[in-house]
């Protein structure tokens, strides 16, 4: 059976002067405000759909990479991942860049990069984005 995730959003007013909020149905984090200016000007204290996609991509990638490394027999100590989703007004979302810094015992740089690429291609959020936006990866093995 498929797992279904839900979030709810509310919007009042027009695009440029209005605003709204979004919240996950689970209550995992509180309701957060959203606005057009958060998308285009990075207004403090407000989020955007792109920031939420970035959060989802970073979290999904962490899980996929950790799973791939573990299945390959490597001891994952820590993975720090950031995702940067680029939004161009009038065009839309154009790219998502993942940057991972990892501490993994018993792995070579080449193996780390190979597993990092496989996770980028295989994580479900990457799968949803693939073909619509450019996916990039910067992978750094910490010794």
Q: Which fold has domain 53-141?
A: GMP Synthetase; Chain A, domain 3 (3.30.300)
Specify the 3-state DSSP secondary structure of 19: strand
| Sheet strands (E) in 14-64 | 19-24, 32-34
Give the angle 106-110-111 at the CA atoms, nearest 5°.
50
In terms of Cα–Cα distance, which of 87, 98, 92, 94 is closest to 123?
A: 98
Segment 94-118, tens digit of pLDDT: 999 999 999 999 999 999 999 999 9
Segment 13-39, tens digit of pLDDT: 999 999 999 999 999 999 999 999 988
| Sheet strands (E) in 37-128 | 75-88, 92-105
**9: enclosing H helix or E strand:** strand 7-12
Report the alpha-carbon distance of residue 102 to residue 81 in Å, rounded. Answer: 8
- What is the domain partition of the chain in residue ranges? 7-40, 53-141
Segment 34-74, tens digit of pLDDT: 999 988 887 788 899 999 999 999 999 999 999 999 999 99
């Amino acid at each position: 059976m498929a797992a279904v995730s839900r979030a709810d959003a509310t919007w009042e007013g027009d695009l440029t002067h209005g605003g709204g909020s979004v919240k996950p149905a689970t209550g995992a984090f509180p309701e957060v405000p959203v606005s057009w200016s958060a998308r285009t000007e990075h207004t403090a204290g407000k989020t955007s759909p792109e920031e939420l996609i970035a959060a989802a991509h970073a979290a999904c990638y962490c899980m996929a990479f950790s799973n791939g490394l573990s299945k390959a027999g490597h001891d994952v100590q820590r993975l720090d991942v950031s995702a940067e989703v680029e939004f161009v007004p009038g065009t839309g979302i154009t790219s998502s860049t993942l940057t991972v810094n990892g501490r993994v015992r018993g792995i070579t740089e080449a193996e780390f990069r190979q597993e990092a690429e496989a996770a980028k291609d295989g994580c479900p959020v990457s799968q949803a984005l693939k073909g619509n936006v450019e996916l990039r990866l910067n992978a750094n093995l910490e010794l």
